[in-house]
Amino acid sequence: MANLILTPNLPRADDTYADLLAAHEGLSKAASDALNARLILILMNHVGDQAIIREALKAAKLENESA
């Protein structure tokens, strides 16, 4: 069974989040969209597990919330 981590997992969460924003700074909407797309593809490849990616897609849709 795949195991998508949905609990805190970033050691320096604020720093990493700031890195993400910094990468987009000054970019046009189109360039930002392109950057996001490339980033998603790179991370997807890094994960390398279809089941986890499917779980992540589902989680991103906010569809499996038990509330």
Question: Where along the sequence are the contacts to other proteins (CB under 8 A)?
Answer: 33-34, 37-38, 40-42, 45
Name the minimum Å distance from CB 56 to other proteins: 16
Is 56:4 a contact under the CB 8 Å cutoff? Answer: yes
Determine the distance from the C-alpha atom of residue 62 to the mean position of all C-alpha atoms in its chain, rounded to a whole number: 14
Say if residue 53 is exposed, middle or buried (CB neighbours under 10 Å; 0-12, 13-18, 19+).
middle
Nearer to other proteins, 13 or 40 (CB): 40
Name the minimum Å distance from CB 33 to other proteins: 5
Name the minimum Å distance from CB 44 to other proteins: 9
